[in-house]
Structure 1
Amino acid sequence: MVPPRTLTLSTFLLQIALFVHASFVLPPPSSLPKPDDYSRPQRSNCHQSPVHLPLYRRTRPRMKGSRSRAARELVPMMGAIGLGDVQDVTYNVLVQMGGSDLPLVLDTGSADLWVLSTDCISPNASATAPPTCNASAPIYSPTTFQPTGLNATLLYGDSLTGTHAIGPIGFDAAGIAQLSASNQYFAAVPQGGTNTSILQTGSSGIFGLGFPINSIIWNQILSSRFPTSKRTLSARAPTDFATRHFPDLSFLRNSSNLKRGARSRASSLPTVSDVLDTFIPYGPLVPRLGLTAPIAAVTLQRDTVQVGGNAGMLSLGALPPAVRADNMTWVPLRAYTPAEGGLPAPTDSPHEVYPMAWEVPVDDVFFDGHKLPRSNLSAPNITLSALIDTGSSYIRGPQDVVEAMSNVLGGQTYPCAHSHNLTFQIGGVLFPVDPRDFGSQAYEDSTEDCVPSVVATDPPANNGSGFLYSWNLGDPFLKGVLAAFYYGNLTYPSQDSPRMGFLSTVPPDAGEQLGAAVSSASASLLATSDPAPSGTPSAAVTDAQGVPQARPSIVSGDTSSGATAAPSLDVALWHASACAVWTALWMV
């Protein structure tokens, strides 16, 4: 054995390479794209090509120059950053906008980026009573804001809980987790321009992780580029703020269907290819970061009932280092055909269908061991699916199914110490909601009664004018999983299909831990908050599946969870080791 002090640099790098190689492994071909898919450019931008870190391939992308130059140019782009948590109601992350570090709500249910600005308006302001704006969180100073002359009206929620934010669209430099993009389009919403409660939760805006098609800002910019197109999206610029946003793509033409005589009359209308060319320059932030792999992974910490669970973290470009992709359950996203309101296929790939959102198929839903009936409020031809939504503090489902759950509970409340099991079967695997996250305290001065964190939502649309999902799986579900959001190839999804991966982290004794937490509480269950950190949590503990933990999930005398100590790994070491492996393999 070589003494530690005599290790050479090459030996050290080899150990790092072996560590990363063992930590990042490819799942079976049915779970993630084939190795050849990773070398396929996304349009013409090599740095946007979906190249996955595990590097089991030996094929090389079509790049000019020597092999060493290719190795230099394809430096892995990845990062990770911790999440803030306001009593499990809102999870936020620090995003750099211009010269400001802003805590923004992490929202996989939407696709737009907006921030509160120092500008101030008030609907009740007058000459004698000027508007007063006292932001309690950091806000964006628009000194470097480049306005476009366009405005965005951003809609959230559903007909029961609709909220909005309205502000000018412009661009500025943006960054997150030491990754950055220039000329990022977003909305600078003046104080008073939103009825959301983000300021009350210490946030300064919303950071949407969705697809360009579902971005209102992208739609507005596209409309401005083709001003004579008959857009219904901008025409319905909402006065009805309780309307779930769904993009209108009916204005698109497909050049293969144009007659020669009609081409001149329709020349001002965009083709599908025109639209695809706008995804990267005008779309959401994450796909513009040039990530090593087109993936974002999210774990949410628990700050109520029993603090701990998963470490709150957003990983970009790779899974957390100790998590194996082949241990996860991977499922495709729902793709929307043109008849369902989706994007038509381009002429050079006529069979393409595109996802709208992070919407996954659901096999069945179970409550306390019994399969719940399918809703009678949606058409029988609509398959069951769910939106995966970090921006929602509830689980939302069909009204009649939620009422059936209430009947099982025996009313609107239930004893807090009683463990209930709400489980979603996805990809043939059962994913339970942790009993500690199923409900919340009903009354401030008593831990006797709780209310379920499950509420009713709108039924799916069936006429091409709305989303088709029946369930919205928000934070109560996501606190019990590691969720991976794989964008794939945005423009040609058949080449690298978008999908989601799930890994359940609910311990087998979660019900017992709930009972212990309730019995040890006095008048109120535990609730705390964590501000959004500027760096990555250094996880000293992972669970048996490699998921970083906020703190050991083992209660006194219990070792059943399989939690294991692991070396602290910060993002700098993670990035450095990945770069070493990447360069070494490309130089072979």
Structure 2
Amino acid sequence: MGADRSTCNQVTVGGVDYPVQLDTGSSDLWILGSSAPIPGANDTSQSYNLTYGIGWAFGHVAYASAEFAGISIPKQAFLDVSSAQNPALSYGADGILGLGFTSLSTVDALVNSTGASTGRTLLYNLFQDNPSEPNFIAFSLESTTDAGDTIAGSFSVGETEPAYANVTSTNKIPTWPVNSPTRWNVLLDSFIVGTQTVPVSSSVSGAPSNKAVVLLDSGTSYTYAPTDVCQAIYGGVAGAQYDSGLGQWVVPCSAEIDMALQIDNQIFPINPLDVSPQSTGDPTTCVGSFVPQSVSVGAGQFDWLIGDNVLRSVYALYDFGDFDSSGKMGNPYVQILPLVNPDQASVDFHTVRGGTPNTNITYAVSNDAASGSTTVSLSTDVANTIDKLSKYLPAMLGVMALNALILIVLAIAGLVLLCRRKGKTARARKIPGRLSPMPMNNTNMNRFSDMPPPGSHTYEPVSMALTEDTLFAPPSPAFKGDSRQGERPRSVA
């Protein structure tokens, strides 16, 4: 069931529509209605103060019928909030709808503590109660140009936006960890600033040393990254400086910063208007949307928190796991389609900020140089074979040299006979050479032919979906595949 949506979507709870912030970084649904309990809801005695990186929401666990993206859920657990402080409320939302895994859900952990199992996330119940619905979501984020034109966001459940159908042909990017993840984490290969590829590293236990674990979080406006990463992005920009009071880099608005991320050997350019957006407090000042953090952003669970400044430049599909022919569900993954043409983005940048656009902006996929040399282990049989070859190698070389000498003599004799033949002319037919390789451009221009030109964006600082993991939630797959084997279709058409 699909429909055009912005990142603030409608969810129906107890027969009443509420606008909510869609958040891939959390897993709970909470609603702040005009009264508590909200109409049509049955509150329980369980209460909780749900704390985010920015803001909080206090209320009671409640149950009500729900509907989302045109799909009905007879009974949904959520937090019926009586008081809250959250930036999302300042922009017309009545709550947050977490699109993450049940294993991160505080409401589910609260319900589980009572011995019940009815606290699953809205998406879990949506797919559980509608087995014919493919279990993935896909969306692009809404952006607003300085001229006031709005580029509509798109959100769908179980299908893709027709204009972005190619997303299903892109790499299936595994989550990290691959099995039973709690968040939409993926591994970042590197990032590119201008023509320089910058290697990354991770502080997450078990993660590859030459990768960074990044959380894809649609509930956060900016990206929070290690200090050295932000230094690499803004440190070389003339006139840019770090403002300790602001906690961000301040960048000349005329400075175009061309950069891209490399994930799973794919390049994702970022609109330069999103790398240094205008400050919400002072439109004449531009700030770095990559915000430095002196310590691990995710408390050892991820290294970067990637927010809307990056996600605006892509169309992303979040798949909770394909079902095979036996009904067994596989691991979740993400598919990402780049939406930014770097050359066009440069034109858009200078249309807004002045100056001359850059041209021929390309980003090459870098090999994993940071991983060092590759060690090859040989089996015993292969090692013995090589040892034997080394013993007989001199004799073999002698035989080969004799054969080569005989071939040279025969070749000379043949040339002499050929030259003596009269009346023989060289053939005029030309032998075609090898085809020259086509120049590589990692951004397919045809991909953008139907895309409206992006402009600068209005940033609405909404909650960083970093809930306090104070309650134990046992690791579990997103959905119970075993309870309905064979009933679900594969999630990729």
TM-score relative to the length of structure 2: 0.64
The one of 347, 350, 354 equivalent to 2:180 is 354
Residue pairs, 1:66-85, within 5 angstroms: 78-83=1-6
Q: Tell me how far apart the structure 2 counterparts of residues 286 and 307 of structure 1 sit (CA, whole Å).
A: 34
Q: CA deviation at 1:444?
A: 5.7
Q: CA deviation at 1:188?
A: 0.8
Contact 1:112 1:206 in 2 (8 A): yes
Q: 1:380 to 1:182 in 2, by over 3 A?
A: closer
Q: Percent identity?
A: 27
Matched, 1:328 2:170: yes
Contact 1:375 1:398 in 2 (8 A): no
Per-residue Cα deviation, 1:366-403 (whole angstroms, up to 9, x for no partner): 22232335358667955412111110000111133223
Per-residue Cα deviation, 1:280-315 (whole angstroms, up to 9, x for no partner): x42111232226211100111211446668530111
Q: 1:487 to 1:443 in 2, by over 3 A?
A: closer
Q: 1:421 to 1:295 in 2, by over 3 A?
A: same
Query: In the alignment, what sits opposite 2:214?
Result: 386
Alignment RMSD (CA, Å): 3.1
Q: Tell me how far apart the structure 2 counterparts of residues 443 and 477 of structure 1 sit (CA, whole Å).
A: 18
SS of the residue aligned with 2:161?
A: coil
Contact 1:396 1:471 in 2 (8 A): yes
Q: When the two structures are aligned, how many residues end up with a matched partner? A: 347
Q: Tell me how far apart the structure 1 counterparts of residues 270 and 329 of structure 2 sit (CA, whole Å).
A: 34
Per-residue Cα deviation, 1:555-583 (whole angstroms, up to 9, x for no partner): 9xxxxxxxxxxxxxxxxxxxxxxxxxxxx
SS of the residue aligned with 1:354?
A: coil
Query: In the alignment, what sits opposite 2:26?
Result: 110
Query: In the alignment, what sits opposite 2:78?
Result: 186
Query: In the alignment, what sits opposite 1:100?
Result: 16
Q: Tell me how far apart the structure 1 counterparts of residues 57 and 454 of structure 2 sit (CA, whole Å).
A: 42
Matched, 1:441 2:286: no
Residue pairs, 1:181-220, within 5 angstroms: 181-190=73-82, 193-220=83-110
Contact 2:344 2:453 in 1 (8 A): no
Q: Tell me how far apart the structure 2 counterparts of residues 151 and 369 of structure 1 sit (CA, whole Å).
A: 52
TM-score relative to the length of structure 1: 0.54
Residue pairs, 1:125-140, within 5 angstroms: none
Q: Tell me how far apart the structure 1 counterparts of residues 8 and 280 of structure 2 sit (CA, whole Å).
A: 27
Structure 1 segments, 4+ long, off by >6 Å, are: 376-380
Residue pairs, 1:359-378, within 5 angstroms: 359-374=185-200
Q: Tell me how far apart the structure 2 counterparts of residues 446 and 215 of structure 1 sit (CA, whole Å).
A: 38
SS of the residue aligned with 1:514?
A: helix
SS of the residue aligned with 1:82?
A: coil
Query: In the alignment, what sits opposite 1:155?
Result: 51
Q: 1:362 to 1:93 in 2, by over 3 A?
A: same
SS of the residue aligned with 1:553?
A: coil
The one of 282, 289, 294 equivalent to 2:119 is 282
Query: In the alignment, what sits opposite 1:516?
Result: 351
Q: CA deviation at 1:453?
A: 0.8
Tell me, which stretches of 5 or more residues in structure 1 are unaligned? 1-77, 84-90, 121-140, 227-277, 337-352, 521-542, 556-588
Letter in 2 for 1:473: I
The one of 256, 260, 263 equivalent to 1:423 is 260
Letter in 1 for 2:14: G
Q: CA deviation at 1:223?
A: 1.2
Query: In the alignment, what sits opposite 1:222?
Result: 112
Per-residue Cα deviation, 1:503-562 (whole angstroms, up to 9, x for no partner): 000023201211012239xxxxxxxxxxxxxxxxxxxxxx9548985xx3399xxxxxxx
Q: Tell me how far apart the structure 1 counterparts of residues 327 and 86 of structure 2 sit (CA, whole Å).
A: 34
Matched, 1:473 2:389: no
Contact 2:143 2:150 in 1 (8 A): yes
Query: In the alignment, what sits opposite 1:453?
Result: 289
Query: In the alignment, what sits opposite 1:495?
Result: 329
Contact 2:260 2:268 in 1 (8 A): yes
Letter in 1 for 2:330: D
Query: In the alignment, what sits opposite 2:251?
Result: 414
Query: In the alignment, what sits opposite 1:506?
Result: 340
Q: 1:114 to 1:443 in 2, by over 3 A?
A: closer
Contact 1:328 1:501 in 2 (8 A): yes
Query: In the alignment, what sits opposite 2:134?
Result: 293
Q: Tell me how far apart the structure 2 counterparts of residues 297 and 363 of structure 1 sit (CA, whole Å).
A: 23
The one of 48, 51, 67 equivalent to 1:175 is 67
SS of the residue aligned with 1:288?
A: helix
Q: 1:164 to 1:215 in 2, by over 3 A?
A: same
